[in-house]
Amino acid sequence: MRLIFAGTPDFAVPSLRAAAQRGEVVGVYTQPDRPAGRGRELSISPVKREALLRGIPVFQPENFKTRAAREALRALQPDLMIVVAYGLILPQSVLDIPTYGCWNVHASLLPRWRGAAPIQRAIEAGDAETGVCLMQMEKGLDSGPVLLQAKLAIGDTETGGQLHDRLSELGAEVLGDGLGLARAELFPRPWIQPEAGVTYAHKLDKAEARLDWSHSATALANKVRAFNPWPMADALIAGERVRIHGAIALPLEHRAEPGTVLLAGRDGIDIACGVGALRVRVLQRDGGKAITAADYLNGRRDLIVARGA
């Protein structure tokens, strides 16, 4: 099969490798090179880097609004286009070009968590499981028929970054299975997503990473996990704003004002929440690196004094 692959970030790289093993990838589409880092030098996407290593032609249109962009895709005579975290919403005029349309690898159990940030939203919501769907794309946002699905359990302490990596590999496996069936002319039988259970995983925003101590400890612990490594939760601890890399919820009853330091020691810093307490284990001061709570307390002896008061 003549395959087109469209993707941009690290998440999509294992799927590109799976596609290259199962068919002839005649072109890779990825986002244009963007300025990155302190020097703001142009940086290529992880997918582009992988494609260049494999000698696959790379295309980087800003969008497909022009006829020239669509005709360039059509000239590749694709049987199937595979889309994994590409970063563009494809119009129907593009979806109709490949003989068998476009497949999408999506990191959730559809119809739950359609949209931009399904991995983080699943953790933030406290979901016990998630997975990957291989979907036939249509005009709606992640609303197309599902071809294949695989599930996995979310670990109690798993971060957004850790779950991202596991789902990236699982997505490649599911895609490989789908392409294997297609090569044998046994295309997966699609099932239509039900209307019940539709939720949307809205794009992450730095502003929502700021913790509000009036919320429950469980909700805050989930947010800390979900937003690691980006945008990383931050909060005020005894007057200092820090980033929180690791924390757990404690079912602790108290009458303290939310945000009050209840206990500070080698095991962590226990902070009163609207319900329960959040034990902060790993944190980062402004301009510093991530350190344990015990190391942080070496420079915040005032917290230990407050504990004994």
Please provide the DSSP assignment of 224-264 as one string. Answer: HHHTTTTT-EEEEETTEEEEEEEEEEE-----SPTT-EEEE
The CATH number of whichever domain residue 283 belongs to comes to: 3.10.25.10
The span from the CA of 165 to the CA of 148, in Å, is 20
Q: Which of these three, 148, 174, 201, is where a domain ends?
A: 201
pLDDT recorded at residue 305: 53
Range of the structural domain that residue 283 is part of:
206-308
Domain count, the chain: 2
Name residue 110's amino acid.
L
Task: Give the count of alpha carbons within 13 A of 165, CB side only.
Answer: 6
With CA atoms as reference, report the closest residue to 281 among 247, 257, 239, 234: 247
Q: Which of 141, 6, 136, 142 is nearest to 61 (CA)?
A: 6
Q: Read off the CATH number of the domain in which 97 is found.
A: 3.40.50.170
Do residues 259 and 145 share a domain?
no
Residues 23 and 3: their CA atoms lie apart, in Å, by 7
Cα–Cα distance for residue pair 234/284, rounded to 1 Å: 9
103/249 same-domain check: no
> DSSP 3-state assignment of 142?
coil
CA distance 309 to 307: 6
Q: Which two tokens stand for residue 235?
A: 């909060």
pTM, two decimals, is 0.94
Are residues 192 and 226 located together in one domain of the fold? no
Same domain, 111 and 194: yes
What are the structure tokens assigned to 194, written together? 């039900």
Q: Please tell me the predicted confidence (pLDDT) of residue 309.
A: 35
A 10 A CB-CB count for 265 gives: 13
How confident is the prediction along the chain (309 residues), in pLDDT tens digits per residue? 999 999 999 999 999 999 999 989 999 999 999 988 777 888 999 999 999 999 999 999 999 999 999 999 999 999 999 999 999 999 999 999 999 999 999 999 999 999 999 999 999 999 999 999 999 999 999 999 999 999 999 999 999 999 999 999 999 999 999 999 998 888 888 999 999 999 999 999 999 999 999 999 999 999 999 999 999 999 999 999 999 999 999 999 999 999 999 999 999 999 999 999 999 999 999 999 999 999 999 999 888 755 443
176 and 287 in a single domain? The answer is no
> Is residue 178 domain-shared with residue 35, that is, in the same domain?
yes
pLDDT on residue 6: 98
Indicate the annotated binding residues.
108-111
Q: Are residues 123 and 220 in the same domain?
A: no
- pLDDT, tens digit (0-9, with 9 covering 90-100), for 43-67: 999 999 999 999 999 999 999 999 9
Same structural domain for residues 196 and 210?
A: no
SS3 readout for 147-205? EEEEEEECCCCCCHHHHHHHHHHHHHHHHHHHHHHHHCCCCCCCECCCCCCCCEECCCC
What residue numbers does the annotated binding site for (6S)-5,6,7,8-tetrahydrofolate cover? 108-111
Asked if omega into 190 is within 30° of 0 (cis), the reply is no
In angstroms, how far is the first alpha carbon of the chain from the final one?
72
For the stretch 75-89, pLDDT in tens is 999 999 999 999 999
Same domain flag for 137 and 17: yes
133 shares its domain with 230: no
Return the DSSP state at 30.
-
Domain boundary among 161, 180, 201: 201
User: Are 112 and 224 members of one domain?
Assistant: no
Tell me: do 103 and 219 sit in the same domain.
Answer: no
Of 173, 201, 229, which residue sits at a domain end? Answer: 201
